[in-house]
Structure 1
């Protein structure tokens, strides 16, 4: 089957998860061409099997093909694997309806799918068309990917069991809207030690980019969800020589003003990196929606 047909089949099986991002009306499937809501808004599947839910012709961000390809190689090698395993440990053994916010090129969601099997309904979205097109190469027909706006999600109210978000911006009002009562929000944020070896190579000790503090993001989360949990995740990841330049290319750290171009010797010294993040967990309840 073509990717467009596989996507249409996935949508047909999980149509109740989706809703028009313009008016939140329910969708009906239009053969294998796309989706139409009850108020006439229509969205088509592309050849890659994804749907572009933005009202603009294209999405603009700094995640180009080179960066996304580098990210795919490093994540496939396992940079986030212990993190994904911890996310999986927080999910029930029963099938879930889950979305991955800011899915990028989709590898973490695909790794979660590989751990859990095919019973779940897993969907990922990103503002990057290039990222979503790359994501559709992963397990076609087993997951659904789309280009969408964080603040106008193409998912139905109270239709999801889990919202998962790794290193991405958040819209808690939208997350609470799409989560069913008792649904779970899983959010990964970096700590000051995250990729500290790379940060030390790119910036001098006096540069503000050398140091990182994410407490405001965590404080906002816990203010929104006072019963929320925080689970630290810390480990060392060994970088094969071929992945060292890829790690630099995949990370926004090298975009900062004053970032140095690394020499071959400096890249060769980047043998291991620290992955230090916090998993923030909250349950939807009547008080936060």
Structure 2
């Protein structure tokens, strides 16, 4: 897609090229993009594409749970490579699935995408890999369609302003996704709440859902600091893992554990980005009477599932 076009125009074109995916969040009818960059349905419900090129398809009031500061901090931490080993694994899983679906364009959806760093990183990786292997005859072939949704307008505003690629970003409720049935080949749900009923509805019959859970040692150094080695220091994802297995047929489970070297400049952003700080001793956070760790443990479980027969 022509990168010289304004972001809003590029996303308008992207919606036109994938016009069968979006549905009206009010009446469920198919929506089409107009020349004015407005999205309308046959019932004349209308949603405008923002200047940054994202859609606000939330139909009810939402009280923000996470602050803008948290999303901005997470954006900085992600850009520093904190989750790069996770991105390596997700890229591998998506490529493997791409081989299974043949020549059709692969539709990838990040549900609960936050400020968009994960999907943006995967988009760059996957598009670059395809461009690298393309023959002269295949140049310009559209191999992917990427979309991300989050209920936080603040997070989507950050995502749309910094992704640099052609990704359809939507402010939307995961319990009422603005997509038609069977729209996506791959649904990602990374360290975010899940709604498996909606996920399976918008998943193609041969599609996969990839869920990333924090594991017991995730950010253990921060837990030690914030909770003085007392309450909330231990964590188990057993309940979430079991629930995933109840809702889907598990085809793959992977453990990812590594140590990330944290700089003094990045550490405050890491502290801001995690809800672990909620309920922690505020005086301790302000005084900072602790020794800053040199490394942070990242401990994750990645599960892949398909719809049950």
Answer whether TM exceeds 0.5 for this pair.
Answer: yes
Which SS does the other structure have where 1:25 is aligned?
coil
Structure-1 residue corresponding to 2:296: 273
**Cα displacement (A) at 1:17:** 1.9
Contact 1:74 1:246 in 2 (8 A): yes
Structure-1 residue corresponding to 2:24: 20
**Cα displacement (A) at 1:3:** 2.7
Q: Give distance in 2, aligned partners of 1:141 and 1:228.
A: 31
The one-character-per-residue Cα deviations of 1:227-282 (angstroms, maximum 9, x if unpaired) are 4432111111111221011100111100125464164563x522111110100100
The one-character-per-residue Cα deviations of 1:204-225 (angstroms, maximum 9, x if unpaired) are 2221x21111111100111122
Q: Give distance in 2, aligned partners of 1:222 and 1:84.
A: 23
- Asked if 1:131 is matched to 2:155, the reply is yes
Q: Give distance in 2, aligned partners of 1:140 and 1:19.
A: 25
Contact 1:99 1:163 in 2 (8 A): yes
**In structure 2, do the counterparts of structure 1 residues 206 and 139 end up closer, same or farther at CA, with 3 Å as the change threshold?**
closer
Contact 1:5 1:32 in 2 (8 A): no
Structure-1 residue corresponding to 2:236: 213
Structure-2 residue corresponding to 1:55: 59
Q: Give distance in 2, aligned partners of 1:160 and 1:132.
A: 20
Q: Give distance in 2, aligned partners of 1:30 and 1:276.
A: 46
Q: Give distance in 2, aligned partners of 1:212 and 1:232.
A: 16
Q: Give distance in 2, aligned partners of 1:87 and 1:179.
A: 17
Which SS does the other structure have where 2:298 is aligned?
strand
Structure-2 residue corresponding to 1:81: 84
Contact 1:59 1:129 in 2 (8 A): no
Contact 1:110 1:139 in 2 (8 A): yes
Aligned length: 283
Contact 1:22 1:152 in 2 (8 A): no
Say what the alpha-carbon RMSD is for the aligned residues: 1.8
Q: Give distance in 1, aligned partners of 2:253 and 2:287.
A: 38
Contact 1:122 1:143 in 2 (8 A): yes
Structure-2 residue corresponding to 1:119: 143
Q: Give distance in 1, aligned partners of 2:179 and 2:188.
A: 14
Which SS does the other structure have where 2:110 is aligned?
strand
The one-character-per-residue Cα deviations of 1:66-122 (angstroms, maximum 9, x if unpaired) are 222111111000111110110111113454101111111111111101110173111
Structure-2 residue corresponding to 1:182: 206
Instruction: From 173, 178, 183, give the equivalent of 1:159.
Output: 183
Which SS does the other structure have where 2:94 is aligned?
coil
**Cα displacement (A) at 1:43:** 1.2
TM-score normalised according to structure 1 size: 0.92
The one-character-per-residue Cα deviations of 1:145-179 (angstroms, maximum 9, x if unpaired) are 11000011011101110110101111111111000
Q: Give distance in 1, aligned partners of 2:55 and 2:177.
A: 13
Structure-2 residue corresponding to 1:235: 258
Q: Give distance in 1, aligned partners of 2:111 and 2:154.
A: 15
Give unpaired runs (5+ residues) of structure 2.
Answer: 100-104, 128-141
Q: Give distance in 2, aligned partners of 1:14 and 1:278.
A: 32
